[in-house]
Every structure is written in C-alpha cells, then in structure tokens.
Chains A and B, each alone.
Chain A
Amino acid sequence: MDEAFSFVFLMFAATLRVATPLVLCAMGGLFSEKSGIVDVGLEGKMLMAAFFAAATAAVTGSAWLGVAAAILAAEAMALLHGFACITWRGNQVVSGVAINILAAGLTVVLGAAWFARGGQTPALESEQRLMPLFFPRAGDSILVYVALASVPLTWWIIERTRFGLRLRAVGEMPLAVDAAGISVAWLRYRAVLLCGLFAGLAGAYLSIAQNAGFSRDMTAGQGFIALAAIIFGKWRPFPAFGACLIFGLLDAVAIRLQGVQMPGMGEVPVQLIQALPYLLTMFLLAGFIGRAVAPKAAGVPYEKEH
C-alpha cells in the first residue's frame, strides 16, 4: 500500500516536473497568440533563457540573478520578435524560425567561448540552483509553484481584465481596437513581453532547477510541445494546462517504460510515446477530435491606415 502510494506520488511529481516548463511556455505563448502574434520561437526563447540562467548562476553564484538573466535574455528575443513582426510587419513564422536557429547557435558559441566546455556551462552547486522547497525527492522548486499559479493568473488576465479583453480583441480584429483609439502595436508589444517573461522562467527552470547547468539544445523540442499544448487546449489557459499535464505524463511514462515488457504487447517503443504529443495535436488540428480555431488575426501583420 505504502509502496503504491509512493509510486503514484513519484509519478505525479515526475509529471509536474516535466510539465513545468511546458506550462510556463504555454502560458507565455498564449498571451502572444491571443494578441495575434504567432510564436514558433518559444523554443529559442527558452533555450536562450536556460543558457543565460546557468551562465549567470555559475559566474555570480546566485540562482536569483540567474532567473533575472533568463528573463532578460528571453525578453530580448521577445523584443526582437516584436520589432520584426509588429514594427516591421515581417513574417511571424520566419521571425520565429530565425530566433530558434539563432538561439541554437548563439548559446553554444557563447558557451564554448566563455566556459570552454564544448557549449556546456559549469555544473552548478546546490546553492547556485533553485532547490526543492518541501519534498526533496519530488523536485518541487519554487518555479513549479509559479507554473501552477500562472494558469489561473493567465486565465484571470485574459478573461477578467480590461487588458485581457483588449488583447483578445486585437487578436481577432485589430481594426476594431484601432478604431476605438487603442494602440494595436503597444498592446501586441505588451503581449509579446509577457510571453518573454514566461519563456524566461521556463528556461531558468530547465537549467538551474531541473538540471544543474546548461547543455546544448537542452530544450529538445519542449517549446514546440508547449506550442502543441496551446493548440491542443484550443487557445484557452486551463485546457492548455491539461494538455501540458498529459504531455508531461506521457514523458514520465516513457522514461518509466524504457525496456519494460508490457503484458500482451511486448515492449512499447519509447519513441512512439515521445511522438504522441505531436501526433495527438495533428489529429486535433485535422478536426478528428473537436476543432481548434486560432485567433482570427493570428499571423497577420496589422497595417495602420493613415
């Protein structure tokens, strides 16, 4: 009995641990997408943040300075995205892809030049990391709770505040927002900056809470899984959170099932479980499980008439 409880608890904890960066990233992405700015650059923002968090924590010895650096790095990428997509009305997907590739290269180039460990940052001591608060075995660092709190917060901002109302409006019909005398560009910039904040926290979690340092490409597609979760949750905070938990559970199960013989079906290929979030999202997008409708103005640059 005790063992079963311990198993369930550990599975639950593992799910939360894996889901935390997804949740943070998805909530950030929601703000951006709701405002009409498509963000395929979540992965890159998170990677940059992870690198600067670990690098700063390693150099200064302070985890909190690491978190601050992560947020700054992600915000810099977010501003770049905003500058290209909002100010210059560039293609949002192209800008996102550019940010992903830039981050993949720059983190290794800077890491190798500064620390000379082939792109890795030095291993962090426990006082340089965000350590578990209550349950050492569960890995419940403060960012796990931040991620949990971010879901109702995001819901509240988007659904219950004036800013949220305008945010939704600008993602559906920017012309109406403009006609009401509200700046489309400023609204979208704020959305993009909120996205950077959350992506920064997600990156910091990866490198200084979940792991003890940065390694190259450590985001490993999690930014895209977060994007999938947003779509899977049909651009709503709580369902997106649910999708993150499902994807997190899949990952936790995949690690558990490695090499295990299942009764009746032999060994379950771990790769299949890893590909499931993407496959499920595509089934959803194809309209086989309900319908996912993006904000109407998503991806379309807004041209103010003079």
Chain B
Amino acid sequence: MSAPRRPLPAWAEIAALPLINIALAFVTVGIIVRIIGVDPFHALRFLVVGAIGSSEAIGYTLYYTTNFIFTGLAVAVAFHAGLFNIGGEGQAYIGGLGCGLAILALDRFLPAWLMIPLAIVAAALFGAAWAAVPAWLQAWRGSHIVITTIMFNFVASALMVYLMVNVLIAPGSMTPQSRNFTASGKLPSMQEVLGAVGIQVAPSALNLSVVLAVFCCVAVWVFLWHTPWGYELRTMGHNPEAAVYAGTSLKRMTMLAMCLSGALAGFVGVNELMGVHQRIVLDFPAGYGFAGIAVALMGRSHPLGIVLAALLFGALQQGGAELAFEIPTITREMVVVIQGLIILFSGALAHLPRPWLQSLLAFFSSPRSRGEVPAQRAEG
C-alpha cells in the first residue's frame, strides 16, 4: 500500500516487529494504569488469574475468543482483497438478526439437528447481505467502502432498535427482546458436549460456536491460499491492475470478499444469540466488530495469527472483567483502551520500531545475512 521500506529478515517481520508493537501497547497501558493509581503488575496478576485461573475462566476466555476469531477473520478476508471493512459491527448485528429470525420462525417445527445448521446459514446470509450493499456501492458506484461500512453500522443499529421495540418484542415484555428460543433453537454448550463424552468442565458461556470458529479458520486458510478464487482475491489486494490483466473481475471479487467478510462477522450472532442469550437482544455485538480490526492487524491477517490474537483478546476480555471486580478503580473499559492501543501500535504505527530494529540488526550482523523478501503486511 505505501512505498517500499527497507526489508527486515523474515523472522523479524513475522515475529519480532509484531511483538515489539504489542509490547509498546502494553507498556502504554501500564503507564495509564499507573496514572490512575494502581500497580500495573498487581493488576496484571488479577488479569491473568481471571483469564486462565480456573476451568470456568478458561471457558469464558474461549467464549470471547470465539467472537474475536469471527470478526478478526472477517476483517482479514477483506484486508487480503485490499478492502477495509469497518462494518463488522453492523454485519454481526444483522447476522444475529438472521439467525434469530430463522429460529423464531421455525424452532417450533424443526428438530435441533436441522434448526441449528439452518440458523447458522441464515446468520451467514444476513451478514453477507449487509456487507453486499457497501460492496456493490464500491464496485459499481465507486463510493468508498470505509465510509459506507461505517454508515451501515449506524443504519443496522437504528434498524435493530426499530425491529426490537416495534416488531420482535415478546408480548408483555418491558425490555426490547424477543421471546425465548425453544430447545431446538439452542446451541449446546461445551459443558454438555464434553460431558457427553465423559469430560467434566465447569459451566460457562462457551458453546459449540467455538468449533464453528475453528472450522472457519481452516476454511479461510484453504480458501485464501489453496483455491483459485482465493488467489484472485489476494492478487486483487496486492495489485488490482495485475489482477485485471490476469482476467479477474474486480467487481465480482469485491462482492465475493465482502460477502465472505460479512458472513464471518454474522457468526457472532450465532455465538451470542443461539449460544448464550437464546433470544434476540439489543447491542449484543458490543464492539466485537471493531475489535476485529485489532485482531486482524495483530494476527497479520493470517488465520493462525488471528487465533493467537483472538486468544489474547479473549483472555483480556475475561481477565478484564475479573480485574474490574477485584480492583474497583479499574473498569472493564480498560480492555477497550488496550484494543485501541493495539490498533494504534500494530496498525497505524506499525513501522515505528522498524528503524530501531534495523540499526540493532545492522549492529549485530553482516549486511549479507539480511533477508530480501519482505513478508506481506496486513494493511488495508
């Protein structure tokens, strides 16, 4: 995207630079924690124990991780096509709507083994449809996808409030939420699933969606790196002119990339509504769509990197909640601060440590041992 920079050896591009970026973000958070009068290491201990200190904590950490994987993959697929999808929030919202509508319409008639896959498909279709409009506007009318996806987040939110307050609200309910799903519209929790094969875990919000998330990671990896369409998509992201020259239709690829992206984001609705709330509620995307940008940037838009980044974010989300409980001066929003700083340091300021690393390497090594191929970067 930007002009060439002096390349670093591959290991430095893939591992050292991202780690330094994350470290910078965490040092900054440490300073903020210090400013509000809490010992950062004290806070860190609560955070770690809260995230992985018990079977229940690990369950919740993995449940949050599931959401981050979905939105991280969503942003990454678009990134690879050279598109910046900021609309994950709205796509997750509408994906959840699709999932919920399918269940509300059919859960009284269908058994779970049929209802669950149908609801998942509905979530993907609705999420994809919500992303298809900005994609179409970009491909055919030339409107900038960053702006249109931002606008669509607000439109999605307004639409959902309208639907929940006026249409889908359960009869007699004071709060805007739909009726409860019946048993066939409920995704089994991992506690039940693992219990069935004899493994005992503590109850948590973790449900079968986590399996869907892992499946999505593999599917995205296969699609992007081992199918002709994935190849075309990445070619478009690297060099649209070359892609056109090779016979790719940029319009079709834009639609494909954004629809996939929207479908992945829509799965947040599966985890939240079918897995946890078991009815349609307001505001369940709760910032996961935006956090997906941080996850994708940190994971360098690779499924494996995204899983690692999502695990970190999931742990932060769960640990942050426990931390806020233990130390009242720190609120849960500390996690949001960390997300913002990670986007800043791994995204906008990604090249900040590069000169330091370069002079450090130059100091220790002869010029010949430097790698020549820069690893691809996750930039929009």
Q: List A residues at the B interface (Cβ < 8 Å).
A: 38, 40, 80, 83-85, 88-95, 97-106, 108-110, 112-114, 116, 118-119, 221, 224, 227-228, 231, 269, 271-272, 274-275, 278-279, 281-282, 285-287, 294, 301, 303
Contacts of A91 in B (CB 8 A): 1, 347-348, 379-380
A224 to B155, CA, bound (A): 12
A171 to B150, CA, bound (A): 23
Q: Which residue of A lies closest to B344 (CB)?
A: A98
Contacts of B147 in A (CB 8 A): 227-228, 231, 281, 285
Instruction: Choose from B141, B290, B349 the contact partner of A285 (Cβ within 8 Å).
Output: B141
B166 at the interface (CB under 8 A from A): yes
Contacts of A102 in B (CB 8 A): 337, 340-341, 344
B146 at the interface (CB under 8 A from A): yes
A274 to B156, CA, bound (A): 11
Mark out the residues of chain B between 137 and 165 whose CB falls within 8 Å of any chain A CB in the assembled complex: 137, 141-144, 146-148, 150-152, 154-155, 158-159, 161-162
Instruction: Choose from A83, A89, A105, A271 the contact partner of B337 (Cβ within 8 Å).
Output: A105
Chain B 340-380 near chain A by CB (<8 Å), digits 1 or 0: 11011001111110000000000000000000000000011
Cβ contact within 8 Å between A113 and B37: yes
Mark out the residues of chain B between 147 and 196 whose CB falls within 8 Å of any chain A CB in the assembled complex: 147-148, 150-152, 154-155, 158-159, 161-162, 166
With contacts A271-B158, A282-B148 known, is A109 near B330, CB below 8 A?
yes
A301 to B334, CA, bound (A): 31
Q: Which residue of B lies closest to A38 (CB)?
A: B146
A145 to B343, CA, bound (A): 37
Q: Which residue of A lies closest to B345 (CB)?
A: A98
A113 to B137, CA, bound (A): 44
Instruction: Choose from A104, A294, A303 the contact partner of B3 (Cβ within 8 Å).
Output: A303
Contacts of A231 in B (CB 8 A): 147
Contacts of B329 in A (CB 8 A): 112-113, 116
Contacts of B2 in A (CB 8 A): 89, 301, 303
With contacts A97-B290, A274-B158 known, is A85 near B348, CB below 8 A?
yes
Most A C-beta atoms less than 10 A away, residue of B151, B154, B297:
B151
Contacts of B60 in A (CB 8 A): none
Cβ contact within 8 Å between A101 and B32: no
Chain B: interface residue total (CB-CB under 8 A): 55
Contacts of A89 in B (CB 8 A): 2, 351
Cβ contact within 8 Å between B330 and A98: no
**A-side interface mostly:** helix
A285 to B152, CA, bound (A): 13
B311 at the interface (CB under 8 A from A): no
Instruction: Choose from B3, B32, B151, B328 the contact partner of A282 (Cβ within 8 Å).
Output: B151
Cβ contact within 8 Å between B336 and A101: yes
Most B C-beta atoms less than 10 A away, residue of A98, A272, A274, A279:
A98
Most A C-beta atoms less than 10 A away, residue of B141, B150, B293:
B150
Cβ contact within 8 Å between A98 and B37: no
Cβ contact within 8 Å between A93 and B146: yes
Cβ contact within 8 Å between B158 and A84: no
A90 to B338, CA, bound (A): 19
A235 to B39, CA, bound (A): 47
Q: Which residue of B lies closest to A280 (CB)?
A: B151
A78 to B379, CA, bound (A): 22
B335 at the interface (CB under 8 A from A): yes
Cβ contact within 8 Å between B154 and A109: no
Contacts of A88 in B (CB 8 A): 348-349, 351-352
25 contacts between A and B (CB under 8 A): A83-B349, A84-B349, A88-B351, A88-B352, A90-B347, A91-B347, A92-B348, A93-B86, A94-B379, A95-B348, A98-B340, A100-B290, A102-B337, A102-B341, A105-B336, A105-B337, A105-B339, A116-B328, A221-B154, A227-B150, A228-B147, A271-B158, A271-B159, A278-B151, A285-B144
Contacts of B161 in A (CB 8 A): 271
Cβ contact within 8 Å between A90 and B351: yes
Contacts of B148 in A (CB 8 A): 282, 285
With contacts A101-B343, A231-B147, A272-B162 known, is A84 near B331, CB below 8 A?
no
Cβ contact within 8 Å between B347 and A109: no
A296 to chain B, nearest CB (A): 13
A113 to B37, CA, bound (A): 8
Cβ contact within 8 Å between B137 and A286: yes
With contacts A119-B331, A279-B155 known, is A98 near B347, CB below 8 A?
yes
A115 to B330, CA, bound (A): 12
Contacts of B297 in A (CB 8 A): 94
9 closest A-B pairs by beta carbon, nearest first, are A105-B336, A102-B340, A95-B348, A285-B143, A90-B348, A101-B340, A105-B337, A113-B36, A94-B347
B241 at the interface (CB under 8 A from A): no
Mark out the residues of chain B between 302 and 351 whose CB falls within 8 Å of any chain A CB in the assembled complex: 328-331, 333-341, 343-344, 347-351
Mark out the residues of chain B between 13 and 57 whose CB falls within 8 Å of any chain A CB in the assembled complex: 32, 36-37
Contacts of B158 in A (CB 8 A): 271-272, 274-275
A306 to B378, CA, bound (A): 27
B352 to chain A, nearest CB (A): 6
Contacts of B337 in A (CB 8 A): 102, 105-106, 109
Cβ contact within 8 Å between B331 and A109: yes
B84 at the interface (CB under 8 A from A): yes
Cβ contact within 8 Å between B146 and A294: no
A95 to B329, CA, bound (A): 28
A98 to B28, CA, bound (A): 14
Contacts of B144 in A (CB 8 A): 285, 294
Cβ contact within 8 Å between A275 and B146: no
Cβ contact within 8 Å between B339 and A94: no
Q: Which residue of A lies closest to B331 (CB)?
A: A112
A169 to chain B, nearest CB (A): 21
B42 to chain A, nearest CB (A): 15
In the complex, besides A40-B86, A83-B349, 13 extra interface pairs with C-beta distance below 8 angstroms are A80-B344, A88-B348, A94-B293, A97-B293, A97-B343, A101-B287, A105-B338, A105-B339, A113-B331, A228-B151, A278-B154, A285-B147, A286-B143
With contacts A94-B347, A98-B343, A224-B154 known, is A285 near B333, CB below 8 A?
no
Cβ contact within 8 Å between A282 and B150: no
A106 to B32, CA, bound (A): 9
